[in-house]
Amino acid sequence: MNQEQIAQLLEKLRAGTATSYEKALLEEFWEKASADSSFTDSLSSKEKQTIKEELFANIKSQLQWQEKKSVRSLYPSLLYKVAASISIIVIVSFLWLYHSNTIEYKTGFGEKLTVVLPDRSTVILNGNSCVRYAKGWNEENTREVWIEGEGFFSVQHTKNHQKFIVHAARQLNVEVLGTKFNVKARSQKIEVMLAEGKVKLDLADKTNAHASYYLHPGELATVHNDSFSMRPVQQANHIAWLKNKLLFDETSLGDIAEILEEAYGLHIAFQQEELKNRKLSGEISSATAEDILKAISETFNLTVTRNGQNVTLSQQNETL
C-alpha cells in the first residue's frame, strides 16, 4: 500500500466506517512493518523513546475514553482487543508519517523509469516497481534504498568507501561498494543477479538468524519462501528488459504469465491447462504487453482473447 491508501484507510478506521477487509489490510501492513526494523533504523534512541512515550500516552487516553463511554459493557477480553486495535492505528499512523519523510519513485504497469540518486548512482525501474530513500540523505552515513518490484542498480563508489545497501525485502539486504546488479523482489520470490563488481547478501530466516553470501559476476541468487540458492546464469537473459526485450531459454508459458502479471498487470488464464507447460526460447520485444502477446500467439498458434487486463490463451482450432 502507498501513503495515500494508508491515509484513506486510517481515516475510515477512525470514522468507524472501515470494513473487515480494510481492517485486515491495515493489520497485514502493520505485521509486515513491525517485522522490518528498517522502518526505524535511522532514528536515534531518543527519538524512538519519544515515539514510545507518545504511543503509550495516546493509547492510555483512548482507553480511558472508552471506559468512560461504556465501562459496564466492556469485558476484559474486549478491552484488550480495543487496546490492540488502537495501538495498531497509532503505530501505523506513525509509520505513514515516517514514510512521508522519504522520497519515492514508482512506475505503472508496462512503464520504465531511470532514477538518479543523490550520490549520482542510478536505478532503472521496471514496470510496477517502486524505489524510495530518506530525504535526509547523508553522504557520511550508509546509503540506503528500499525497492519493491524490479530495478537495475548502477552504484557509484565514494572516496570514503561509504556502504550502499539495498533492502529488497525484510529478510534480504544487498550490500555493495561499486557495482551493477539487478534486483527483482516480487511476491514470495526475490532474485539478485550481479553484472559487475561484488555484493554481499545478508539473509535472515524465520528465527531472525543471519547468514552472509557473496555473489560474483554472472551469478544469480534466489530466495523463495524459506529456500536460498545461487547459480551461474546468462546475464543477458535477466537484464534484457532494459532494452525493451525479453530473452527466454526453455521458459514455460506459466512462468511468462507471471511476468505479464507482475510487470504489465495482465491476468492470464489458460483455456487448456496443458498450455502452461509449453516452452519458449528466443527473444521477444517487450516494449508493450501487446508485443509479447502477439509473439506468443504466433509462436504457439494460440488465440489471444483480451478484455481489459484479463487475457485468455487458447489453442486455435485446426482447419481441415
CATH number at residue 272: 3.55.50.30
159 or 27, which is more confident? 159
Q: What is the pLDDT of residue 211?
A: 87
Residue 179: CATH number of its domain: 2.60.120.1440
Among candidates 251, 236, 261, which has minimal Cα distance to 311? Answer: 261
The rounded distance, in Å, linking the Cα atoms of 280 and 18 is 46
Asked if residue 199 belongs to a domain, the reply is yes
Grouping H, G, I as helix, E, B as strand and the rest as coil, residue 34 is helix
Asked if residue 206 belongs to a domain, the reply is yes
Residue 143 · residue 174 · CB < 8 Å: no
Tens digit of each residue's pLDDT (9 = 90 or more) over 102-147: 889 999 999 999 999 998 999 999 999 999 998 877 777 889 999 9
By the 10 Å C-beta count (0-12 exposed, 13-18 middle, 19+ buried), 126 is classed as: buried
239 or 225, which is more confident? 239
Residue 269 · residue 310 · CB < 8 Å: yes
Residues in the chain: 320
| Residues 6+ positions from 187 with CB-CB distance below 8 Å | 262
Same domain for 109 and 225, yes or no, is yes
The rounded distance, in Å, linking the Cα atoms of 130 and 146 is 8
Same domain for 147 and 222, yes or no, is yes
Same domain for 228 and 251, yes or no, is no
Looking at 43, 72, 99, which one is the last position of a domain?
99
Same domain for 108 and 231, yes or no, is yes
Question: What confidence category does residue 224 fall into, taking pLDDT thresholds of 50, 70 and 90?
Answer: confident
Same domain for 233 and 253, yes or no, is no
Q: What is the pLDDT of residue 277?
A: 93
Asked if residue 195 belongs to a domain, the reply is yes
Asked if residue 92 belongs to a domain, the reply is yes
The rounded distance, in Å, linking the Cα atoms of 128 and 137 is 25
Looking at 66, 99, 132, which one is the last position of a domain?
99
Same domain for 128 and 224, yes or no, is yes
| Residue 65 grid coordinates | 475514553
Asked if residue 44 belongs to a domain, the reply is yes
Q: What is the pLDDT of residue 112?
A: 94
Average pLDDT over residues 285-305: 90
Residue 83 · residue 59 · CB < 8 Å: yes
Average pLDDT over residues 73-94: 49
| Residues 6+ positions from 147 with CB-CB distance below 8 Å | 123, 129, 130, 131, 166, 167, 168, 183, 185
- Return the DSSP state at 287: S
- Return the DSSP state at 178: S
DSSP characters over 88-131 = HHHHHHHHHHHHTTEEEEE--TT--EEEE-TTS-EEEE-SS-EE
When divided into structural domains, the chain yields a total of: 3
Residue 138 · residue 117 · CB < 8 Å: no
Tens digit of each residue's pLDDT (9 = 90 or more) over 19-71: 666 666 666 665 565 555 555 555 455 544 554 554 445 444 444 444 444 44
Asked if residue 26 belongs to a domain, the reply is yes
Asked if residue 320 belongs to a domain, the reply is no
Same domain for 27 and 41, yes or no, is yes
Looking at 99, 119, 148, which one is the last position of a domain?
99
Same domain for 134 and 217, yes or no, is yes
Neighbours of 280 (CB within 10 A): 18
Question: What confidence category does residue 76 fall into, taking pLDDT thresholds of 50, 70 and 90?
Answer: very low
Same domain for 278 and 303, yes or no, is yes
Report percent pLDDT > 70 for the chain.
65
Domain extent at residue 154:
104-237
Among candidates 134, 108, 133, 112, which has minimal Cα distance to 124? Answer: 112
Query: Pairing state of beta strands 143-154 and 164-169?
Result: parallel
Same domain for 197 and 255, yes or no, is no
Q: What is the pLDDT of residue 161?
A: 81
Among candidates 140, 131, 144, which has minimal Cα distance to 103? Answer: 131
Same domain for 58 and 88, yes or no, is yes
Against a cut of 0.75, is the pTM above it?
A: no
320 or 211, which is more confident? 211
Same domain for 42 and 94, yes or no, is yes
Residue 1 · residue 7 · CB < 8 Å: no
